[in-house]
Amino acid sequence: MSTPGEGAAREGLAQRYRRLPLRSRLALLTAVAVAFAVAVAAGACWLFAKQQLEEQRDTTLTNVKPDDKYISRLVSTCGTGSAGQPEAPTPYTVQIITTGGVVCTTEGKSPIRVAAADLAVAQGRADDVLHDARADDGTDLRVATSRGERPGIAAVSIAQPQSEIDKPLNGLALVLVATAGIGVVGAATAGLWIARAALRPVDRLTGAVEHIARTEDLAVRIPVEGDDEIARLSRSFNSMTAALASSRDRQQQLIADAGHELRTPLTSLRTNIDLLARSEETGRAIPPDDRRALLASVKAQMTELAALIGDLQELARPDASPDSGPLQVVPLHEIAERALGRARLRGSGLAISAELDPWYVRAEPAALERAIVNLLDNAVKFSPPGGSIAVRLTGGELTVRDHGPGIPPEDLPHVFDRFWRSPSARSLPGSGLGLSIVARTVRQAGGEVVLRPADGGGTVAHVRLPGAAVEPPDMP
């Protein structure tokens, strides 16, 4: 369980780590990973070398057999202090235990402290043993004790200093530590270089974002190289800036077009109001007929202005706006019937026929009705006096056919653009937003709308909406 001080220290380290630049963190993580891997490999190598050396030493100690002549001379000089013994099988220490319990050690070597395992061999309770021991002078030894094969000899011990393998192991450890240190430093350097190379595209992206934030220049594009994650990020960023630039252009165009369209009714309205105000100020009354015409013009201009503002609000509303009504299953034939009632009021001198088969769609009811009304208003506006309009709904396709002047082929690609009006329609009332609202509403409902020249003159509008001819069971 950690103490509060240790927890605070770890939190401080974590905060300092998070404050490091990303490339420094990547280099640090690389160095730590390499250090861990090198440490594990070096430790495994050292342990394997230690095991092999110890096994080889034990095998050698077990196989070393001093000759009988050496053993005889060692026994004969044991305890006499005389010189002239045959040379010992260095670097080993030979020590014997006689049947009388006397211990004799190679001349010039420190006696080995007799362990219980050695006594067990001398007493016949064990055959051969290997164990660690210590000489009287404090030297750590590895001892192999076996039974004596000559009369009067109970056990023979062959010992080798532990330092014989400790020295090479210590040297190997130094080499491994030095190698690991060099590897870690090299890994950290390589990690820093790799991090810089890998993050160079991110630096470019960061620079582009900072440039856009500083200058609002959405024309900046980042070069895309390859198909990796950085390339995907660059492509996504380029797509985002292109979409933002397009949105800003459309917004500026909408503002410019709206200002242009608003200027005309506002100018006319201001002129008419100035005439009324001047009449009141000067006391010169306007003739009744002229005054009625002036007030009717003011009312019409205000109505046109209100309709234009409503259309602008509709087009400016996001698709997922909270003001949008919920999509629900609605009977398209009933909505078309209500829209036809409004169109007949506005085109009282026109013959409007309708054939409406049942068709149920998923849409926003109010928006869908407004779109159909806009289509019918368009047909009413361009139909000649006493003309006819045919409306049909069959198989999920609603068609509205008029017998007006038609739309020139070169104008057809622009009929759904905001504020676009053909030269022949600029003298007629309207804002040029009706068909834009139709296209938006139909697209939100998953359908499509097109305008085509009709056979025999006029224009036919085709609206296709996905749905069903049978009322769904969950429909309210």
Residue range 443-469, pLDDT digits in tens: 888 899 988 888 888 889 999 999 888
Across 9-13, 38-42, 147-151, which has the greatest mean pLDDT? Answer: 38-42
Query: To the nearest whole percent, how much of the chain has pLDDT over 90?
Result: 8
CATH of the domain at 85: 3.30.450.20
Mean pLDDT computed over 373-390? 87
Q: What average pLDDT does this structure show over 336-351?
A: 85
pLDDT score at 408: 80
Q: Read off the pLDDT of each residue in 409-426 and give the average, rounded to a whole number.
A: 66
pLDDT at site 260: 61
Report the pLDDT averaged over residues 206-220.
80
User: Do 285 and 335 belong together in one domain?
Assistant: no
pLDDT (mean) for 204-211: 79
Provide long-range contacts, Cβ within 8 A and 24+ apart, for 218-223: 218/242, 218/244, 218/245, 218/248, 219/245
Q: What is the pLDDT of residue 314?
A: 64
Residues 336 and 400 in one domain: yes
Alpha helices in 20-77 (DSSP H): 22-63, 68-77
235 in the same domain as 148:
no
Residue 153 has pLDDT above 50, yes or no: yes
Q: Tell me, what's the pLDDT at 474?
A: 57
403 vs 305, residue with greater confidence: 403
Kindly indicate the confidence band of residue 4, based on its pLDDT and cuts at 50, 70 and 90.
Answer: low
Last residue of a domain, one of 289, 316, 343: 316
Same domain for 344 and 407:
yes
pLDDT of residue 412: 76
- Is the preceding omega at residue 288 within 30 degrees of 0, hence cis? no
Q: Is the pLDDT of residue 194 over 50?
A: yes
In a domain, 26, yes or no: no
419 vs 348, more confident: 348
pLDDT-wise least confident of 1-10, 168-177, 217-226, 366-375: 1-10
Confidence of residue 316 (pLDDT cuts 50, 70, 90): low
Residue 352 and residue 277 share a domain: no
Is 37 part of a structural domain of the chain?
A: no
pLDDT band at 82 (very low <50, low <70, confident <90, very high): very low
256 and 138 part of one domain: no
Structural domain for 290, as ranges: 229-316
274 with 349, same domain: the answer is no
Among residues 130, 162, 194, the one where a domain terminates is: 162
Query: Does residue 379 belong to any structural domain of this protein?
Result: yes
- Residues of the chain by 3-state class (helix, strand, coil), percent to 5: 55, 15, 30
142: pLDDT strictly greater than 70 = yes
Q: How confident is the model at residue 416 (pLDDT cuts 50, 70, 90)?
A: confident
pLDDT in the model for residue 290:
79
Please, what's the b/e burial string for 122-146 (b: 16 or more CB within 10 A of its CB; e: otherwise)? Answer: beeebeebeeebebeeebebbbbbb
Residue 398 above 90 pLDDT?
yes
Greater pLDDT, 2 or 66: 66
> Are residues 147 and 120 part of one domain?
yes
DSSP string, 369-408: HHHHHHHHHHHHHHSPTT-EEEEEEETTEEEEE--SS---
pLDDT at 321: 45
pLDDT at res. 12: 60
Q: Within this chain, do residues 448 and 341 fall inside the same structural domain, yes or no?
A: yes
Last residue of a domain, which of 126, 147, 162?
162
Q: Does residue 43 fall inside a structural domain?
A: no
Same domain (yes/no): 352, 429: yes
Considering the domain boundaries, does residue 233 fall inside one?
yes
In a domain, 78, yes or no: yes
Report pLDDT for 399: 92
Q: Are residues 349 and 462 in the same domain?
A: yes
Q: Do 286 and 338 have their domain in common?
A: no
pLDDT (mean) for 247-275: 73
Amino acid 462: pLDDT: 92
Q: Is residue 50 part of a domain?
A: no
The domain tally of the chain equals 3
Quick check: is 236 in a domain? yes
CATH number at residue 372: 3.30.565.10
